Amino acid sequence: MTSSGRWDPAQRSSSRSTHILGYPSQTEYAERWAGPAKWITAELDYLSGVLPRGARVADIGCGPGHHTRLLRECGFRVTGLDLSWGMLSSQGTPGVVQADMRALPMATGSLDAVWCAAALLHIPRSDVPVVLGEFARVLRTGGELITSLAEGDGELWETVSYESSCRRWYVLHQADPFAAQLGEAGFRVVGHSRRSTHRDWLHFRARRR
């Protein structure tokens, strides 16, 4: 980390840095996904039904902060976190923090919900238990986790012209093993669904035990 508090790209692994540093110039990517899809609206409605206004929520892997804004419109107190400073600064979203989801800068039990949309797919498989453990740590008992990830097998570099022009690192997951990992981290799965766009997605709602 530099004296300004920003992460030094030289400190990142080669795969992570190539992937993350490809994002800052991707304004087309950020704008393409600015509007809420049906699944986002459904998850926002779910959280609004189980959490009070003013609930403390972290949008982890928030990118430019589109979901951060939507969560705030629901009346939640939201902090957005992402490892890429370029993505965080691209839309001028206030209240965002540069951070690694493997070591969240939040107190134990300080959150009512964690929102992590399409961000775990960029985490090496070996680090997923660490990340889920961090989610469990920062959530209070009974806190909610909303997460989505790409369905499939393996890990790969992929250039998806539909999404953006940069090469992106994907870690794919299957539903049953991921549900088991959630359980091992201290969560109870309360909802699970699939959707298909240009790829297949898994959506999980889980509650901190």
Q: Is the pLDDT of residue 155 over 80?
A: yes
Q: Count CA atoms closer than 13 A to 35's CA, side-chain side.
A: 3
Instruction: List, in sequence order, the alpha helices (H) in 116-174.
Output: 128-138
DSSP per position, 53-106: TT-EEEEET-TTSHHHHHHHHTT-EEEEEES-HHHHHHTT-SSEEE--TTS-SS
Among 19-33, 60-74, 171-185, the minimum mean pLDDT is found in 19-33
Region class of 154: left (phi > 0), else alpha (psi between -120 and 50), else beta: left
pLDDT score at 93:
94
Poorest-pLDDT segment among 24-28, 82-86, 134-138, 150-154: 24-28
User: Cβ–Cβ contacts within 10 Å for residue 64, how many?
Assistant: 27
pLDDT of 170? 86
Say yes or no to pLDDT of 66 above 70. Answer: yes
- Work out the pLDDT band at 141, boundaries 50, 70, 90: very high
Q: In terms of residues, how long is the chain?
A: 209
Rank 34-38, 66-70, 194-198 by mean pLDDT and report only the highest: 66-70
Average pLDDT of the chain? Answer: 85
| Token pair listed for 184 | 């091992």
Question: Which residue segments constitute the domains of the chain, with CATH numbers given?
Answer: 9-208 (3.40.50.150)
What's residue 68's pLDDT? Answer: 98
Residue 139 has pLDDT above 80, yes or no: yes
Q: Which of 131, 123, 130, 127 is nearest to 170 (CA)?
A: 123
**pLDDT tens per residue, range 88-136:** 999 899 999 999 999 999 999 999 999 999 999 999 999 999 999 999 9
The predicted structure's pLDDT at residue 6: 39
pTM of the complete model: 0.81
pLDDT tens-digit readout, 7-32: 333 333 444 444 444 444 444 445 54
